[in-house]
Amino acid sequence: MRILITGGAGCLGSNLIEHWLPRGHEIFVIDNFATGKREVVPEVAGLTVREGSITDRELVSECFAAFRPEVVIHAAAAYKDPDDWVEDANTNVTGSAIVAQMARAHGVTRLINFQTALCYGRPLTLPIPASHPTAPFTSYGITKTAGEQFMLLSGVPTLSLRIANVTGPRLAIGPIPTFYKRLKAGQKCFCSDTSRDFLDMADFLAFCDRAIETDAPTGVFNVSSGEAHSIKEIFDLVSAYLGLGTMEVPVVPPAADDVPVVALDASETLAAFGWQAQTGFENTIRRQLEWYDKHGVTDVFSHLKAPPVR
């Protein structure tokens, strides 16, 4: 297939490239490298990279016209600064609208959108079904949810994936890289009194293989393990992995822009795709830490506001 990936230098996009190139797919990447790394999309056979923003309508049009993608994976997103509402809106709303319109104009047969589980806001029920109302309350969640609506409006067969915390090579957001980096450096940590749903990259890639099939279902689906684990559990696993034993750590209430518990109900995904997560929680975290041992942690981003200085 000819697959165009927006944000292809990010964590999810770059893992898809490494997974799909050996299978003979041709891949075209659009990325502005705001958070993605240029070195993860080298010049190799079957891969074309165009630096630029999805907010640049002319550039996106040129890329679609030159590459003629059959499938579009929309992974590009802005999330670096929770207070930069304009950047979030430009990338996550306007950029998504441009990608959706170009997919329609150029006869794309399948459009796959990556959506955040934060679209649900503070959930009314757990685990959260895909039919749960959307009620985002942060800049990232609000703008990603608006962008998703343009994808679904496009008329192109669209699959929007509401994704849990996917772990794997180059993960640079969330508690796992934060704890690993700080504990390795002998720095203090704290845990928010929250719980999250963690999905191993191998399981995510297995789902994406099914998602790009021409006869795969469309619509909105959760992609997750379906289990919630506390941030304190993550801290304890990282501490034990680094040989630091049991450590005391402050556990603080969730910040105003945070959600206490996120666990996504993927039962409809199992019914429609025959897919469910296979990797257990502790193994998922261990595999991530082993990757950091080999490759290290550089930047660590967050869609949440930084807590007050302690």
Claim to verify: residue 84 and residue 151 sit in the same structural domain:
yes
pLDDT at residue 145 in the model: 98
For residues 125 and 254, membership in a common domain is answered with no
Please report the pLDDT score of residue 119 as a whole number: 98
Beta bridge partners of 128: 264
Are residues 203 and 79 both part of a single domain?
A: yes
Buried-exposed string 7-28: b where 16+ CB fall within 10 A, e elsewhere: bbbbbbbbbbbebbbeeebbbb
116: in domain: yes
Q: What is the pTM assigned to this prediction? A: 0.94
Same domain, 216 and 231: no
Would residue 250 count as lying in a domain?
yes
Shared domain for 146 and 90, answered yes or no, is yes
- 7 close to 80: Cβ distance less than 8 angstroms: no
Q: Residues 124-148: what's their mean pLDDT?
A: 97
**Per-residue pLDDT tens over the stretch 5-61:** 999 999 999 999 999 999 999 999 999 999 899 999 999 999 999 999 999 999 999
The number of domains in the chain is 2
- 138 and 256 part of one domain: no
**Which CATH number fits the domain that encloses residue 287?**
3.90.25.10
Q: What is the arithmetic mean of pLDDT over 147-161?
A: 98
Same domain, 108 and 215: yes
* 191 shares its domain with 204: no
> Which structure tokens are listed for 81?
């600064």
CATH number at residue 83: 3.40.50.720
pLDDT digits (tens, 9 = 90+) for 273-288: 999 999 999 999 999 9
pLDDT tens column, 201-216: 999 999 999 999 999 9
- Convert the pLDDT of each residue in 83-115 to its tens digit: 999 999 999 999 999 999 999 999 999 999 999
pLDDT in tens, 228-281: 999 999 999 999 999 999 999 999 999 988 999 999 999 999 999 999 999 999
Indicate if 191 and 104 belong to the same structural domain. no
Domain containing 191 equals: 175-196+226-262+278-295
User: Is 108 within a domain?
Assistant: yes
